[in-house]
Amino acid sequence: MAFCYKCGNEVEKYYNFCIKCGEKVISFSTIKEVKENIPLDKEQSDIHNKTEEPSINSVSSLEENKSNSNSVKQDNDTTSGTGFIIGLIILGLIFYIIFKLATTDFVGFSTFIPAAIRNDNSTTSMEEINTTLSFVAEQMDARVDVNNDGLVNCIDAAVLFYQFFPDKSRVRIIANDNDRTRFYHLFNSVLIDGEWIPIEPQSKRTGHQVPWMTAVWGTDKYDPRLNKAATLEYRRYIK
């Protein structure tokens, strides 16, 4: 017995054509063999090929998507790392500013303290100033060199005045650097009636009647606007 490969109809073995559809007979032993060997038309063949293996364009698209995904991930990692570094820098700047604010001795030529917040001990008497100036003169005559630089100068005078003054809350060490007049000097300021008044700690030793910086040096050479706090920098020389 034979079967028509086109319609599957049973055909007598001596027939060369199918009596049902007229197709030429090819001998197969079973219906399964007929169906397995029926040729596919073009559309079915295309579907079959697409199912069997992906096209080149599909593979390229998948690889491109994978590449884009990796690129986005790398960009995200880079952005995260940059943000972390910037955060550390900002945090460091904040700590630096806090440190400077905590360790800076703010002072101007005349810092006024309102009477409402002053206490009875917030002023300095001339007796305290003159007594301290006398101690400074004695030490400088004895060639006391507080910073061991081989010189006896304004650094020694300012540090000694700060050291011998009876109340450290009412005395400061001040620096004044004036490039225009080439005036580079270290001295002190004391709190008098709520104001910080600059004084020359060497005034008694040099024979001046009053210790005020403006009286000793004059405003042509000494510019009080250039005063800056230096207590924290120089008080380490106190012995």
Per-residue pLDDT of 125-181, as tens digits, reads 899 999 999 999 999 999 999 999 999 999 999 999 999 999 999 999 999 999 999
pLDDT confidence of residue 117: 32
Q: Which residue has the higher pLDDT, 1 or 164?
A: 164
Q: Which residue has the higher pLDDT, 122 or 4?
A: 4
Average pLDDT over residues 36-42: 50
pLDDT confidence of residue 62: 54
DSSP string, 19-71: TTT-PBP---SSHHHHHHHSPP-HHHHHHHHHHHS--HHHHHHHHHHHHHHHH
Q: Which residue has the higher pLDDT, 88 or 71?
A: 88
Strand 195-199's sheet: what is its strand order?
195-199, 183-192, 171-178, 227-229
Please, what's the largest Cα pairwise distance for the chain? 150
Encode 127-148: b = buried (16+ Cβ within 10 Å), e = exposed. ebbeebbebbbebbeeeeebee
pLDDT confidence of residue 121: 53
As given in the structure block, the two tokens for residue 114 are 């309102």
SS3 assignment, position 156: helix
Encode 75-110: b = buried (16+ Cβ within 10 Å), e = exposed. eeeeeeeeeeeeeeeeeeeeeeeeeeeeeeeebebe
At 61, the pLDDT band (50, 70, 90 cuts) reads: low
Average pLDDT over residues 53-79: 59
- pLDDT for 23 beyond 60: yes
- pLDDT for 110 beyond 60: no
Q: What is the DSSP letter of 224?
A: G
- pLDDT for 93 beyond 90: no
Q: Is pTM, for the whole model, over 0.75?
A: no
pLDDT confidence of residue 66: 62
- Among the ranges given (35-44, 82-91, 94-103, 167-176), the one the predictor scored with the smallest mean pLDDT: 35-44
- pLDDT for 2 beyond 50: yes
> Which of 111, 177, 171, 106 lies closest to 136 in space, CA to CA?
171
Q: What's the CA gap between 109 and 219, in Å, rounded?
A: 13
Average pLDDT of every residue of the chain:
77
Backbone angles phi, psi at 2, to 5 degrees: -120, 165
Side chain identity, residue 112: F
Chain mean position to CA 55: 52
SS3 assignment, position 17: strand
At 77, the pLDDT band (50, 70, 90 cuts) reads: low
Our separate counts of H helices and E strands in the chain read 7, 6
pLDDT confidence of residue 72: 56
Q: What's the CA gap between 35 and 16, in Å, rounded?
A: 19
pLDDT confidence of residue 133: 96
As given in the structure block, the two tokens for residue 57 are 């364009």
Per-residue pLDDT of 25-34, as tens digits, reads 665 555 555 4
pLDDT confidence of residue 156: 96
> Which of 185, 175, 166 lies closest to 107 in space, CA to CA?
175
